[in-house]
Amino acid sequence: MLRVEHVDAGYGDVQVLWDVSFHVAENEFVVLVGANGAGKSTIMRTISSMVPISGGQVLFQGQRLDRVAPYRIVEHGIAHVPEARQLFPEMTVAENLELGSLKGGAKTQRKQTMEWVFELFPRLRERRKQLAGTMSGGEQQMCAIARGLMSKPKLIMFDEPSLGLSPLLTQEIFRLALKIHKEGITILMVEQNVKQTLGICDRAYVLENGKIVLEGKGKELLENEQVKQAFLGI
Amino acid sequence: MEMFIQTLVAGILIGGVYALIGIGMTLIMGVMRIINLAHGQLMMVAMYITFVLYQFLNIDPYFALLVAPPALFLIGAAIQRYLLNPLIKIESIIPENQVLMTVGIGIVLTETIRFMFSSDYKSVKTSYSTATFNIGAISWNVPMVVAFILAVVLTASLFFFLLKTDVGKSVRATAQNKDAAMIMGINAEWITQLTYGLGAAMAAAGGTLLLPIYYLFPDVGGPFTLKAFIITILGGLGSAVGAIMGGLVLGVAESLGATYISMALKDAIGMVIFLLVLVFLPGGLKQLTKV
């Protein structure tokens, strides 16, 4: 479904990604793990076309994404739940959700989608008239995910959804991710929370200094000596 | 007491038009994060359009409302597209240089108009320019009342647009988080053009509404840029509600100052308020109203 092939990318003169290749198949739950500064978010921003690539290509359902304007990506069926939520703080939860469904079919089915999203996140229904910026971290993360779902995506990308959340809330978010996956939506997740995410995903890639160094089934990687040493402290 | 109420009425009426002009600047401020220092000059261009329509085609200034604001919308959108947005793309130029660009645009507009119409004072003298009616002992200037009502209508329409439509919400979203807006599928560059166009159109409407009672000359823009700037600071940067309050406060303060202190110091009063706000309420009225 999504193929990232030999991608080099960076900011100005600083190259962050070096020959990165990976893929996500339909209905898969794929995780990219790596330390701070490994280039995880840059990969997400590359797929969203917000960071231009200097080599390689990004393909989604056979179409090149790296030549598409950033605001067009959502029309291809990709939702990006960005790092640190990035909600519209001075707008209500309902307005934030509406802004997730500006294009095409998502717009005409806005009401039904919102109903579905509220069933996934009952808390948001209670808070729909509240300003997004005044909610707690966990609620904001739910709102960000819900906003992504409003575009009726085929693929949803989570950029560190556990950032700034308590262990309990983190678990809750991961449970919700699994639930979304069960609804038939393909997931690409970037995380530092290695142990938990490797446990729930289908496949994972390990990123180090802008290069993919390991690939495998989530549970296999959990047993991998290199992973254990680098991330799990065993 | 009567004089006081009369002064207050005059202040509120002019304040409504000030608010309209100020909201235009606030809108641009909110999305672009820059002060548009060509704001009054854009208004001045709209006044000249209205003047030309009246002088040569005999079109009533209120009908010019259908011409001047749309024209300024196009001019504004073009300024954003061809003069301001290119500056964002060059990383070695700090984005704040857009502010300097707006200063330049203001000067070019002023001098172009001076070249075409000379520096002479002009005015649009309609049959109703000095018409008044009385309620009790208070006399109401007809064009001022009309200007106030139309300003309220235009402001209300703008609020409806920003609060209820998808495009309006996109404008607010872009102001609050540009990156997230793009992820949602909003073409942020297009929104900046729309916003600058709208801001210019609001200023244009203000200018056109003022024309039956005001005189015009090429340098009339400068003082209005200043007024809009004061209103924006007074209301709190990027707050449309604040801009309405700011416009009314400035109108009333100027009016009271002109009556009780000195006509000549009218403009200085705005600046005094400006300083007081910066010292005692740096966040503007937004700090109090929270919107």
Stretch B49-59: mean pLDDT: 93
pLDDT at B288: 75
Report CB contact under 8 Å: A100, B184.
yes
Q: Name every chain A residue with its beta carbon within 8 A of the beta carbon of B170.
A: 99, 102
pLDDT at B89: 77
Question: Residue B234 pLDDT > 80, yes or no?
Answer: yes
Task: Give the model's confidence band at B282: pLDDT under 50 very low, under 70 low, under 90 confident, else very high.
Answer: confident
Q: Name every chain A residue with its beta carbon within 8 A of the beta carbon of B180.
A: 82, 86-88
Q: Which residue among B91, B176, B184 places its CB closest to the CB of A102?
A: B184
Selected residue of A11, A71, A91, A151 to mutate for chain B interface (largest B Cβ count, 10 A): A71
Confidence check on the interface: ipTM exceeds 0.85, yes or no: yes
Domain encompassing residue B124: 2-289
Question: Residue B291 pLDDT > 60, yes or no?
Answer: no
- Residue ranges in chain A whose pLDDT is less than 50: none
Give the DSSP letter string of chain B: -HHHHHHHHHHHHHHHHHHHHHHHHHHHHHHH-S--TTHHHHHHHHHHHHHHHHHHH---HHHHTTTHHHHHHHHHHHHIIIIIHHHHH-TTS-TTHHHHHHHHHHHHHHHHHHHHH-S--EE---TTTT-EEEETTEEEEHHHHHHHHHHHHHHHHHHHHHHHSHHHHHHHHHHH-HHHHHHTT--HHHHHHHHHHHHHHHHHHHHHHHTTTSEE-GGGHHHHHHHHHHHHHHH-TT-HHHHHHHHHHHHHHHHHHHHHT-GGGHHHHHHHHHHHHHHH-TT-THHHH--
Rounded Cα–Cα distance for residues B145 and B13 (Å): 6
The per-residue pLDDT for range B176-226, each reduced to its tens digit, is: 999 999 999 999 999 999 999 999 999 999 999 999 888 899 999 999 999
**Residue A133: closest C-alpha in chain B:** B176
pLDDT at B43: 97
Percent of chain B with pLDDT over 90: 67
Closest CA to B43 of B245, B199, B269, B238: B199
> In chain A, positions 6-35, which contact chain B (CB-CB < 8 Å)?
12
Task: Give the model's confidence band at B290: pLDDT under 50 very low, under 70 low, under 90 confident, else very high.
Answer: low
pLDDT at B91: 66
Q: Which residue among B166, B169, B180 places its CB closest to the CB of A82?
A: B180
Percent of chain A with pLDDT over 90: 72
CATH number of the domain that residue B144 is part of: 1.10.3470
> In chain A, positions 43-82, which contact chain B (CB-CB < 8 Å)?
48, 50, 69-75, 80, 82
Task: Give the model's confidence band at B244: pLDDT under 50 very low, under 70 low, under 90 confident, else very high.
Answer: very high
- Structurally, chain B folds into a number of domains equal to 1
pLDDT at B95: 62
State which H helix or E strand residue A21 sits in: strand A14-24
**Residue B238: closest C-alpha in chain A:** A90
Looking at the complex, report in whole angstroms how far the Cα of residue A88 sits from the nearest Cα belonging to chain B. 6
Find the radius of gyration of the CA atoms of chain A. 17
Q: First-to-last CA distance in chain A?
A: 35
Residue B172: half-sphere exposure toward Cβ, Cα within 13 Å? 24
